[in-house]
Amino acid sequence: YEAEIPDGYDMNNLSDDMNSVQKVIRQRLTDKGFTEATVSLSGENRVTVEIPQITNPEEAVQTLGTTAQLTFLDADGKEWLSGSDIKKASYGYGNPTNGMSDQHYVEVQFTSEGQKKFAEATGNIAARTDGTNIMAIVMDNQVISSPSVSSQIDSDSCVISGSFTRDSTSELADLINAGQIPFS
C-alpha cells in the first residue's frame, strides 16, 4: 500500500502517521484471524503486507485499504465525536491528575470544535442515572476502549487512565491517532 499524501500535508508527521497506519493494519489483520501476517514499512510512505494461506486476496485488500474510522459513542450508540475532532493522542506515565498514583495513561488533545463536542458529550454522559456513564471509543466498528465519565470535561485535552500497561496504553494512543490520519 502507498499513502496518498494530500496537498498541504505536514511531512514532519509522516513517520509517526505511517507507524500508526502500520499498527492499524496489524490490528485489522489480527481481528480477521490473520495472526501470522507480516506488516512492514518500506520507504517513506509505503506499507508491505504479507498474508500466508489467504484464500480471498480481494477481501483482504478491501479490509485493509480503507481509512480507519474513529468515533466516540455513548451507551445508546449516539456519535458525539469522530477522528477529525482529535488533534493528537499520546502515551504518558506519571500522575496525570491530582490524587492519582503514577500510572500509564493516554492524553487526548482536541481541536477547538472537538473540545466543544467533548464537553457536551461528557456533560450528557456524566448526568446519566442508569449506570451507563461510559464513552466508547470505536475504531472500525470495534470498541478499543470504553472509559467511564464521572463529570463534564471542558478542556482542550483529557486523560484516559485505568489498569493499562505501557504496551496497551501506547497501542490505544496509536489507534486513536490512526483515526485522524489525513491521508488514504
Q: pLDDT 10s per residue in the chain (184 long)?
A: 888 888 888 889 888 888 888 887 887 788 777 888 899 999 999 989 888 878 887 777 776 766 677 899 999 999 999 988 998 888 999 887 766 678 899 999 999 999 999 999 999 999 999 999 999 999 878 898 999 999 999 999 999 888 888 988 888 888 887 776 666 7
Backbone angles phi, psi at 153, to 5 degrees: -120, 105
Q: How far is CA 64 from CA 31, 73, 109, 151, in A?
A: 11, 23, 27, 37
Report d(CA 37, CA 59) in Å as an integer. Answer: 15
Backbone angles phi, psi at 19, to 5 degrees: -65, -40
Report d(CA 141, CA 129) in Å as an integer. Answer: 26
Report d(CA 161, CA 2) in Å as an integer. Answer: 34
Confidence (pTM): 0.71
The whole-number pLDDT of residue 41 equals 94
The whole-number pLDDT of residue 115 equals 96
The whole-number pLDDT of residue 63 equals 67
Q: How many CB atoms lie within 10 A of CB 149?
A: 20
Residues 6+ positions from 149 with CB-CB distance below 8 Å: 122, 125, 126, 133, 134, 135
Identify the three-state secondary structure at position 117: helix
